[in-house]
Structure 1
């Protein structure tokens, strides 16, 4: 491998939190760094490593080393559970207990990796950087013992990173009541009113914001401690989509470099989908694709709520009956509850009544391939950032039904951008407006996919698609990150050499 102007290729350790919504963007980042000639050691647990998609291309795979560290057993955590996809929401805190048990194995791995020479090659070179996730508060102190700097990669867009804010800002403006999260934080000047949660979303956020879970700490305290000890922060964001003002605010807010990384859109998967034989194959995927082949162009609503969404029987019932009421063609990738299938959640007789115009596929669906199909016309989604990025890349307007985490805030900002609608919720008598009604699902679906208003949403979706299809600009963000990592190594090396003079 030819050396760059600032020395040999980097060796970067990449270590995401144990959730595939985190693992997949971290893997995409690993591949982007490998494309630039750097070497990456990707760390997770054995089962998660086994479930990764193959690294594409003969040139990339030798540059990405996969390391699986066994997850310690924890009472109450199901056997074989190694990601949030394997457990119901109430067990995720036990997964954090097990994750903290990786501190010893990671320390041993890092000590062994750092025993290599700084002049070594490839994965034999001592790590130049560790790129880690929000939950790794115990890792930066270990890395500091070996003089390996850490960078925090947040898989969220810039507005949510700003909404979270650093510890100093939260200490100056404490948020303790749910209502505190229903307005933009005071440290974001001239913030859009959309940069806020609804009350039913804010209540669980406020309850968990600083409250320790079974691991003995809260998610926010993990995040703040990790961020405090990292040299720089990176977020899955771009100035073109999130706006330059919010991206430029982050370095001043956090008091350190905060780089947008681009949206890490699945360009390769989209290219493969565009050239794939649409209905090829006799497997289940082929059956789905052939059904899409038989539908008119841009007529099908693709419905998917991710693999970890907390679906309740009530919500599934109202979404199903809303789709029935809307009268549109749809393909529903139905995953049920976290860690299970859950087809029994569907209303009795639903699949029979929608037969011909609606397909419910229980289990995994090739989402990018479906969204790339000419029959796909809109996307009913929980507004998870990865799903939104895939929908934007393939030019689809959204019907958004946020379910947890950052999704409500992101859905509101996307609706404000004009790329779709959020399904409104009704008051359940508790005053928090949490109820999903079939009539509202049907109305939102028809407004986006059927009625004249949908043309405006589709037009904005195509405008945003053009921004993402400017691959050179999007990948320029990764170039900037790689340049920063190289510059930091060069500066650290010069500093260490000066101490020897």
Structure 2
């Protein structure tokens, strides 16, 4: 992408093999290329010969496997070290930077052999950097019990809500334990971060606690900078687009009253049980609202409650194929977004002014949900704190509050206020310009 002549940078981008990572890496790549910098975007081909055994045929990202196989994808990714070394050695020109993801701990040593600096790009909010912390801080303030993750880390010197709830600490505690790849995720993070000159976050000052980036720069002892939120555009087109499928969804929305539909999408890899799907469906039915529910799993529709689609026909659509999410969220008929609070989906929602009904499931999603709730843009669906379960009544109550209740206007007003800030394209361009300045200064 782009041209590297005329003083432009030559940047290699290498995201983790998950679509939630590849998309922001690609968005950042496009922003850099638009400024005349040469960008090489690396990922795997459909070529099992380079992958170690253990993964299903054709599996090259986390979307291709169940969550319990995630460690095997990391092991497969580690197998890309030799091909990457060959790629770097075979380049006629040494790149100025390699931008890596959290798990590529083997890459900076290869880059060092070629005198190429690395930057770590986090596709998560900067608050999660503070939650993980560097190796030295964890050694000084060890967290040995799961309950230690339900309070802010001791290295955060200011009042903070950066913590997990009891029902969420299983994931973060698991990140400190070895998985099928042989390494804990946090060890991958530390080894990668320690060999990088910069830490970049797909975030902005406006959505983080005050002065957080300055604090993180001191905590990690290297510049930690925002790239902006890399907001979506409504004309986003991907190779997965299908004109007939896309127009069918949008045509249905065309026939609905303004701001009357809640869009429901919980990501392509949401760990929902059959009971979760039942309660979510029955909650939408009980709420009595119009809805468009995008279910990426081809089998999920088969475990919905008997008769659900028939009973809600006319006011609800369950869609099992790909959805142009940005276009849906930008449609005038959509007035709320029921989301798992993945950072990418949250950014798409707030950048388009949608109030949120939030059902965080894993990783950073709980922290993101609480940050959005603090800003008054939505509410979480009430959960059992011991096991994270929820029921139809909790779903219906949250949906009604955000989509049809007396608080609806307040949530919508707060969402639009954030939209005006994060949707400021000039502000976003300044973030990229400032990032380029860091890349030039620290190369």
Q: TM-score range by the shorter chain?
A: over 0.9
- TM-score normalised by L of structure 1: 0.85
How many residues are treated as equivalent by the alignment?
438
C-alpha contact 2:401 2:408 (8 A) present in aligned 1: yes
Q: Where do 1:160-179 residues align within 5 Å?
A: 160-179=128-147
Note closer, same or farther for the CA distance 1:390–1:129 as it changes in structure 2 (3 Å cut): same
Aligned counterpart, 1:250: 216
Supply the distance in 2 between the matched residues of 1:74 and 1:299 (Cα, whole angstroms): 49
Which residue does the alignment assign to 1:74? Answer: 52
Cα pair 1:302 1:331 within 8 Å, conserved: yes
Instruction: Note if 1:239 corresponds to 2:205.
Output: yes
1:38-437 aligned within 5 A: 38-47=37-46, 72-113=50-91, 116=92, 125-193=93-161, 195-206=162-173, 208-266=174-232, 269-271=233-235, 283-336=244-297, 340-426=298-384, 432-437=386-391
- Aligned partner of 1:19 in structure 2 is 18
Determine the C-alpha separation between the residues in 1 that align with 2:159 and 2:278.
36
Measured in 1, the distance between the counterparts of 2:212 and 2:76 equals: 35
Do the aligned partners of 2:3 and 2:38 also contact (CA within 8 Å) in 1?
Answer: no
The answer to whether the aligner puts 1:461 opposite 2:433 as a matched pair is no
The TM-score, its normalising length taken from structure 2, stands at 0.95
Q: What CA RMSD, in Å, does the superposition of the two structures yield over aligned residues?
A: 1.8
Cα displacement (A) at 1:209: 2.6
Name the residue aligned to 1:120: none
Deviation per residue, 1:49-87 (Å, 9 max, x gap):
xxxxxxxxxxxxxxxxxxxx8663333310100000000
Q: 1: CA distance between counterparts of 2:303 and 2:429?
A: 42
Cα distance change of structure 1 residues 98 and 82 upon mapping to structure 2, 3 Å threshold: same
> Helix, strand or coil: the match of 1:270?
coil
Residues 149, 163 of structure 2: 8 Å contact kept: yes
In 2, the alpha carbon distance for the partners of 1:22 and 1:127 equals 22
Evaluate the alpha carbon distance shift between residue 3 and residue 303 of structure 1 in structure 2; reply closer, same or farther with a 3 A threshold.
Answer: closer
Aligned to 1:360, what secondary structure does the other structure show? Answer: strand
Give unpaired runs (5+ residues) of structure 1. 48-68, 117-124, 274-280, 490-501
> Matched residues in 2 for 1:40 and 1:142: separation?
19
Check conservation: 1:71, 1:82, Cα contact below 8 A. Answer: no
Q: Which runs of 5+ in 2 are unaligned?
A: none
- In the TM superposition, residue 106 of structure 1 has moved relative to its aligned partner by 0.5
**How many angstroms does 1:485 deviate by?**
1.3
